[in-house]
Chains A and B, each alone.
Chain A
């Protein structure tokens, strides 16, 4: 059993440069944890702390109950896949894959056997004698993966491994990654800024901002129950609509229209409302719309249309997804907002104030 625990990790470079402030996480065997966040959120620094490439200012890195905080990276039995792949350009593919085993004085016959298994799995058999310079981007990526897998490490670390691939290949490799690491049954820590990768690959996602974990949850819950405005805005595309509203008597006001605020939110004078574009729809003929407005922009994605609506008599704009075949009145569009799909956030802290969204 090799559970990875991070306890109160902090990395401070200068008095006001603190890429990782205070992060505690646990990744169990077979768990796939994604560190998701915009650039500068501290996710790569955190990964380097785990790998031992940087030293934390304080906090501990523990694997299988052993404190590795002060171990050099080579002694941690972790494998890492780099964004740039970091293949040794002067070594063949086989040499690249076996470099770490040779250092650990693994017997030559076993090295051969392990290279064979890994290259078979990743389809690298015919490339073993080539130098990385002669490989395509996708092939290099596989070699980098093979180099990590062949070590059979206790923990896998992956730093944006897909970001140097073109879009088509990325989708294909994403699926393969999922299968490969499902079979490993080891803690995997995966860094990305791409929410699709985070949602599809992970068993758990940690959304990071300013060196702090904003939310740690399974992907589906990150989507349905964003812990704060930042997470809600960062995950989901097209982005969630946010309305900063005044409240009176448990009713939030949008121009002339009112939206009931759930009782558990309590009495407030101001509240932030979040609603995903796919959770809005056109009102049926016999339905009371939440609000009416006028269409200011239509973006057709083929599969759907993204329509921007300006709420009547306000400057507030809301974007909504509408099936491609549906028609509407440009000047007077009636929109329904499912109360159950609304996310409520504190207008000051940005934190979620309800937990009841289905």
Chain B
């Protein structure tokens, strides 16, 4: 069939939308609808007090949220958890990436092994970590006693600070490989002659690292940060399995609180308000990081 240029372009565009439609529909159903629905539901009170009927209540839920110290506590816990785990992961992940970027016998095998924590289910490995940090029989206590750091077996998951520490530990274990892989890809994309040229110019290894490696893997670092921030901010399974948010809410993250509000207290309206606020915080943070990311990209190409 002969066609004019216009109909041909229209046809291409139509084909494109047809190809994308199933995917977009599923995304709309599972992502867009729940979020929009949360915005809507958050202006209603729907809980046991209203016999689970939705009653319009305007911004009541948000007013309640502002005075809800449990929410602010969970936000603080989440931030703490996110900040510490991501910093540690980045640091260890960078060291891992530098190691994996070397040539040594058995490197392929080591890379494979390094992927294992990433691949295993968080919920399942959370149990393994709970066992490791067990008060009575845990291997951590045993090792610390043998090494002479402590005299008595101590409580880990039952003590606020140490419970958080244990969670961070487990999370670092689980997600460092992801960061290491991303950073390794960044390292491998740096041409070796850059280092050679820099070394001939008289740079020390530390200077090479500062002036070549770090700037050139900056995009990967930021991408890793972005992904990890979002994941860490929504952490649920690990906490649910290891501490359930305890002791006394000391490790309760925002998602644990949302889940409890909806599932345990059946307070759907307030739960929706929590979802909305968390969503907005996340979007702002993501936009900030993305802005930063586009800047580093420009810098790199502008050099």
Q: A residues within 8 Å of B by Cβ?
A: 55-57, 70-72
Contact = CB atoms under 8 A, between A and B. Distances in A.
Nearest to A56: B5
A73 to B, nearest CB: 11
Nearest to A70: B2
Nearest to A54: B5
B8 A55 contact: yes
5 A-B pairs with the lowest CB-CB distances in the bound complex, closest first: A55-B5, A70-B2, A70-B3, A71-B2, A55-B8
Nearest to A68: B2
Interface string B1-12: 111110011000
A143 B1 CA distance: 30
Contacts of B1: 72
Interface of A is mostly: loop
Contacts of B2: 70-71
Nearest to B5: A55
Given A70-B3, A72-B1, A72-B3, 10 more contacts: A55-B5, A55-B8, A55-B9, A56-B5, A57-B5, A70-B2, A70-B4, A70-B5, A70-B8, A71-B2
Nearest to B2: A70
Nearest to A57: B5
Contacts of A71: 2
Nearest to B8: A55
What secondary structure prevails in chain B residues at the interface with A? loop
A57 B2 CA distance: 15
A70 B9 CA distance: 12
12 contacts: A55-B5, A55-B9, A56-B5, A57-B5, A70-B2, A70-B3, A70-B4, A70-B5, A70-B8, A71-B2, A72-B1, A72-B3
Contacts of B3: 70, 72
A72 B4 CA distance: 10
A57 B1 CA distance: 19
Nearest to A67: B2
B12 to A, nearest CB: 10
Nearest to B1: A72
A70 B5 CA distance: 7
A71 B5 CA distance: 10
Interface in B124-162: none
Most buried by B among A55, A56, A57: A55
A55 B12 CA distance: 13
A154 to B, nearest CB: 17
Interface in B1-50: 1-5, 8-9
A57 B8 CA distance: 12
Contacts of B9: 55
Central interface residue in B1, B4, B5, by most chain A CB within 10 Å: B5
B277 to A, nearest CB: 44
A23 to B, nearest CB: 17
A72 B3 CA distance: 8
Nearest to B7: A70
A173 to B, nearest CB: 34
Nearest to A55: B5
Contacts of A55: 5, 8-9
Contacts of B8: 55, 70
A57 B4 CA distance: 10
A71 B9 CA distance: 14
Interface string B83-107: 0000000000000000000000000
Interface string B223-247: 0000000000000000000000000
B206 to A, nearest CB: 43
A55 B9 CA distance: 9
Contacts of A70: 2-5, 8
A55 B4 CA distance: 9
Contacts of A72: 1, 3
Nearest to A52: B8
A70 B3 CA distance: 5
Contacts of B5: 55-57, 70
A129 B87 CA distance: 56
Interface in B188-202: none
A70 B2 CA distance: 5
B261 to A, nearest CB: 53
B35 to A, nearest CB: 37
Contacts of B4: 70
A63 B227 CA distance: 56
A64 to B, nearest CB: 16
Contacts of A56: 5
A132 B279 CA distance: 51
Interface centre among A57, A70, A71, A72 (most CB of B within 10 A): A70
A89 to B, nearest CB: 23
A55 B3 CA distance: 10
A72 B2 CA distance: 7
A69 to B, nearest CB: 8
A49 to B, nearest CB: 11
A287 B1 CA distance: 72
B230 to A, nearest CB: 37
B119 to A, nearest CB: 30
A240 B5 CA distance: 43
A48 to B, nearest CB: 13
A71 B3 CA distance: 7
Nearest to B4: A70
